[in-house]
């Protein structure tokens, strides 16, 4: 699970879960639905003919597990998260930077958005 922004790089062909933490802004509401967009940055030389197809699935979560940077153990964090399963970037996108944006639709009618970047890299680089 990648939760920090900007997100840690993703390798060509890899898939992983990414999460946006909406907890500070949700208050007493809950996330009832979420959607994500994915695009290459506007000044990229990398090519991806279908960047939106890199969003494989999305879902709201009230708890996620993240690895501790200190000892690598899994820790559960509770809150209001939008999680996206992202991946399958093509070789032509290596070196490019994707912009991921999550929209959270809340139970009280508000709509919140967060975005972050993730670099695509070749395996082993």
- By CB neighbour count within 10 A (0-12 exposed, 13-18 middle, 19+ buried), where does 97 fall? middle
Superfamily of domain 10-121: Immunoglobulins (2.60.40.10)
What is the pLDDT at residue 3? Answer: 65
When pLDDT is cut at 50, 70 and 90, the band that residue 41 belongs to is: confident
Pairing relation of β-strands 10-11 and 55-67? Answer: unpaired
List pLDDT tens digits, range 46-98: 999 999 999 999 999 999 998 888 998 999 999 999 999 999 999 999 999 99
Residue 69: the pLDDT is 84
More confident residue, 5 or 62: 62
CA-to-CA dists, residue 16 to 2, 28, 104, angstroms: 8, 29, 20
The DSSP line for 36-79 is: EEEEE-TT-----S-GGGGEEEEEEEEEEEEE-TTT--EEEEEE
Query: What is d(CA 82, CA 59) in angstroms, rounded to the nearest whole number?
Result: 6
- pTM attached to this predicted model: 0.91
The full set of domain ranges for the chain reads 10-121
């Amino acid at each position: 699970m990648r939760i920090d922004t900007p997100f840690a790089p993703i390798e060509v062909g890899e898939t992983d879960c990414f999460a946006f933490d909406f907890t500070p802004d949700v208050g007493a509401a809950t996330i009832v639905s979420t959607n994500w967009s994915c695009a290459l940055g506007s000044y990229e030389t990398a090519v991806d003919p279908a960047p939106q197809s890199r969003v494989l699935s999305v879902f709201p979560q009230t708890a996620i597990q993240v690895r501790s940077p200190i000892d690598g153990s899994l820790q559960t964090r509770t809150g209001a998260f939008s999680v996206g399963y992202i991946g399958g970037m093509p070789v032509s996108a290596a070196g490019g930077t994707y912009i991921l944006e999550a929209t959270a639709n809340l139970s009280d009618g508000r709509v919140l958005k967060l975005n972050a970047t993730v670099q695509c890299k070749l395996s082993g680089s």
